[in-house]
A and B are shown apart, each in its own frame.
Chain A
Amino acid sequence: MLYIRALDLGGPHAFSHHFAEGAITVVLGRNNAGKTRLARAVAGLDPSRPGTVFINGADVSTLSARRRRVGLVYQAFVNYPNWSVFDNIASPMKAAGRGRDRDADEMARTVEALADRLQIGDLLDRLPEALSGGQQQRVAIARALAQQGDVLVMDEPLVNLDYKLREELSLQLREIVQSDGLTVLYLTSDPKDAFTLGDEVLLLQDRTKLQSGTPLAVYNAPVSAAAADLMSDPGVNRLGEQILVRPEHLRLAPSADGDAVFEAEVNSVETSGAETFLHCRVGGADWVARLPGMADVQAGARARLYVAEDDLIRFD
């Protein structure tokens, strides 16, 4: 269990949150939203930051990073460069003094089990520099899991991987981290991660918590325009201050029951075959419509965009 009380992330309000136990919480925020500060505070790397961190009911605020046993995975692939994959994965256990005689067998078994889980079992005697980026990050994840603590923090771990590897590892990550009943904080700026990985999602903006809940709940009922915008890729379309329209809710064809209609000037059309993005101007604002398949619209044309009244997000 991880509970943070009145942590000063540098925003207007202190940060407090109960993280769901044994679940993955996707912490979603843009650059400078306070994600990394949160990660460092949980891991104990900023002992001077005001606030209290509880792990399993115990106040760990005064404990050193080492004694908190929080696993941390970074954006960069951080491994000891002159140690083999085996020694890298074993490093947290060695540091904890478990590399000696009687425990050595057990440690070796743990390392091998972790390596198998991350599909790097056949790379154990290689050096990190001889591995691909994806493999290096797998080693780093295994190292973090070898902390054998209750909390794992992953700070945008897939950002530096190329597209295919990112998709592949992202799909496996849930399985990899969940079997230990770990409480996982997954820091990201991509709303898609919230849906693929998150049991819960926590929105951060300007170093302040905006909203938290299951990804669907946060998607369906954002508490503010900023929250709706964070959970949307591309960002939400604004109609004045009070009304938002999600790009994926816009259609080119009217439905049977009452739709809201918008006159749009199409600036550009971006298509991937499977879907089409219309970049257009609506009532003086820049909008994006995300349409399934290929849309029969040319840049420079005018179009009517429809959206069901129920799908309009209103704030009063």
Chain B
Amino acid sequence: MQRANNRAWLAVAPVVLVVAFTAIAPLMTVVNYSVQDIFDVHTRLFVGLDWYRETLRDPRFLEALARQLGFSALVLALEIPLGIWIARCMPLQGRMTVAFLIVLAVPLLIPWNVVGVIWQIFARPDIGLLGAAVTALGVSYNYTSSALDAWITLALMDMWHWTSLVALLCFAGLAAIPPAYYQAAELDGASRWQVFRHVELPHLKSVLTIAVLLRLMDSLMIYTEPFVLTGGGPGASTTFLSQYLTSMAVGQFDLGPAAAFSVLYFLLILLLCWLFYTSVMKRGDEAA
């Protein structure tokens, strides 16, 4: 037995090496930076946890964090129900299904900065289709000057970009439900809502877990689209964690604080995803 185990280590060694070079070593470098004050390559000062303390007391960090959590909660609350709804409206087979699938896949294939550019133009109040139409209706709308408008535009853009992913995952989940379940529910005289609640939703549990996890992680890391669309403004109203971090590390070259920020950011995403995943799994275990 012992020999077999050792051989297994040999088999996974290449993966361990690759992961070590691409993930663990860079991450450890960041951790190393985060406990030092770096003046230049040769002049460093060990400062312990000072940068962490400073970051956690930084009002701009806390504001960006609040915005970030708000944005993630908002897009999850919009995209998950909408995605399920779209998937339920799709025909399960036939030519129309293929058409739906292609249309849904399109937003996912567009590079993220292009999505930002598309929406930047689309939402412009002077020449953009959406912006001009809304303005023509007499609604005052300008995402470059109003924080609310900027948020609405960002949320719409994110929905446009990512609801497809949820819909496609849910569609796959729905397509896997044997028709006998629907018939059994029909015999029981279940209403449309009851069929959804007691037949479809339980079968969608695992794909929804994946969908929520992916959207949660991705929305917490959102950078490109708001960077292109609003550049974090107006003011700092759409400056999320990644944007603030970038301005700190690349703009001001504060490597120490930025490294501490990065570690906190990483731990935050890890923590939220872990909390979500374990709570889902725990509920599953309790139910079983």
A residues bordering B, Cβ < 8 Å?
Answer: 40, 43, 45, 64-67, 70-72, 74-76, 78, 80-83, 91-92, 95-96, 127, 129-130, 143, 147
Contacts and interface: CB of A to CB of B under 8 A. Distances in A.
Contacts of B288: 127, 129-130
A78 B184 contact: yes
Contacts of B287: 82, 127
A91 B199 CA distance: 12
Nearest to B183: A45
B54 interface: no
A182 to B, nearest CB: 15
B73 to A, nearest CB: 25
Contacts of B178: 76, 78
A43 B198 contact: no
A43 B189 CA distance: 12
Interface in B165-210: 178, 180-181, 183-184, 186-190, 198-199, 201-203
Contacts of B180: 74-76, 78
Interface residues of B, number: 17
Contacts of B201: 82
A56 B119 CA distance: 65
Interface in B225-278: none
B203 to A, nearest CB: 7
Q: Among A40, A65, A71, A127, which residue has the most Cβ atoms of chain B within 10 A?
A: A65
A65 B198 contact: no
Contacts of B188: 66, 91-92, 95
Contacts of A75: 180
A66 B186 contact: yes
Given A65-B187, A74-B180, 14 more contacts: A67-B189, A75-B180, A76-B180, A78-B180, A78-B181, A78-B184, A80-B198, A82-B198, A82-B202, A82-B287, A83-B198, A92-B188, A95-B189, A127-B287
Interface of B: 178, 180-181, 183-184, 186-190, 198-199, 201-203, 287-288
Given A76-B178, A76-B180, A78-B181, A66 B187 contact: yes
A96 B189 contact: yes
B202 A72 contact: no
A16 B23 CA distance: 71
A95 B184 contact: no
A78 B183 CA distance: 10
B187 A70 contact: yes
Nearest to B190: A95
Nearest to A97: B189
A80 B202 contact: yes
Contacts of A96: 189
Contacts of B198: 80, 82-83
Residue in A43, A64, A67, A81 whose Cβ sees the most chain B Cβ within 10 Å: A81
B202 A43 contact: no
A116 to B, nearest CB: 22
A52 to B, nearest CB: 20
B278 to A, nearest CB: 19
A72 B199 contact: no
A92 B199 contact: no
Contacts of B184: 72, 74, 78, 143
Contacts of B187: 43, 45, 65-66, 70-72, 92, 147
B201 to A, nearest CB: 8
Q: Which of B180, B202, B288 has the most CB of A within 10 A?
A: B180
B194 to A, nearest CB: 8
Contacts of A72: 183-184, 187
B181 A64 contact: no
A308 B180 CA distance: 48
Given A127-B287, A127-B288, A129-B288, A80 B186 contact: no
A129 B203 CA distance: 12
Nearest to A79: B184
A143 B184 CA distance: 10
Contacts of A40: 183
A148 B288 CA distance: 29
A9 B181 CA distance: 23
Nearest to A67: B189
Nearest to A64: B189
Nearest to A127: B288
23 contacts: A43-B183, A45-B183, A45-B186, A45-B187, A65-B186, A65-B187, A65-B189, A66-B186, A66-B189, A72-B183, A72-B187, A75-B180, A78-B181, A78-B184, A80-B202, A82-B201, A82-B202, A82-B287, A83-B198, A95-B189, A96-B189, A130-B288, A143-B184
A150 to B, nearest CB: 14
A265 B245 CA distance: 86
